[in-house]
Homo-oligomer: A and B are copies of this chain.
Amino acid sequence: MEYTILKLAKIANISTRTLRYYDEIGILKPKRISSSGYRIYGSEEVDILQQILFYRQFGLELTEIKDILNNTEFSRINALRDHKKKLYEKREQIDILIKNIEKTIAAGEGRTIMSDNEKFEGFKQKLIDENEEKYGEEIREKYGKETVEKSNQKIKNMTKEQYDKISGLAAEINLTLAQAYKTGNPAGELAQKAVLLHKEWLCFYWDKYSIKAHAALGQMYVDDERFKKYYDDIHPGCAEFLRDAILIYAKK
């Protein structure tokens, strides 16, 4: 049995374009080309096409199918298993999307959500403004104009991820510090961990970190009552505790 392109297309219930495309990508070549340039398919090609369509129905890509067809029965089943996994993942993805949409609808959101970033932008500006307002002068005195400018610039260029990270860091510092304070030992493991976190946090703002600057900052946390208040809010005496811990870290 020989088939022209349309006949084969009708049998398989696909378009002739599809067959030409399959020829083009080499997944199904005609048995021969007639003298007038027509594609002629044989029954062997019918079989191959059947297989292609069989695998296509599962959503496999044609390149994958092409590989599969050259493989053994065993690896074909493996390919199907692989694909099944992918489908499971896709379904989970869709499940998540559906849940999110439902949440959104339930919350009557859709419009207000974006204020998130507005907030974020606001936070960043507030962070700079606050710093400027509260400590601008003094810090500029102690660390020089450059350092402060660079710090502000760094804040402006922060991405949301970075912002979220430093927010998280700040929280972690406070938590660790609170725990460490209870031990009463600024040389202890917890206190030193708090110092390390604090260092990491500083590195987000400072262009170059130095232990001396870090120690000086620790002293400032005690000397400046606004800083002192922030840390003593965690627990009275925390500012001094942190300073001591930093000094111990610096001597190591």
Contact = CB atoms under 8 A, between A and B. Distances in A.
Q: How large is the interface on A (under 10, 10 to 19, 20 to 34, 35 or more residues)?
A: 35 or more
A50 B113 contact: yes
Copies per complex of this chain: 2
Determine chain A's interface SS by DSSP, over half rule: helix
A84 interface: yes
B11 A160 contact: yes
Given A80-B105, A91-B91, A46 B118 contact: yes
Contact of A98 (B7, B51, B91, B121): B91
Given A7-B157, A13-B160, A91-B98, A110 B77 contact: yes
A201 B126 CA distance: 82
Contact of A80 (B7, B51, B95, B110): B110
A213 interface: no
A217 to B, nearest CB: 27
23 contacts: A1-B121, A10-B157, A11-B117, A11-B160, A12-B117, A12-B160, A13-B161, A43-B121, A47-B114, A50-B113, A50-B114, A50-B118, A51-B111, A54-B113, A57-B97, A73-B111, A76-B111, A77-B105, A77-B110, A83-B101, A87-B98, A88-B98, A94-B94
Nearest to A125: B1
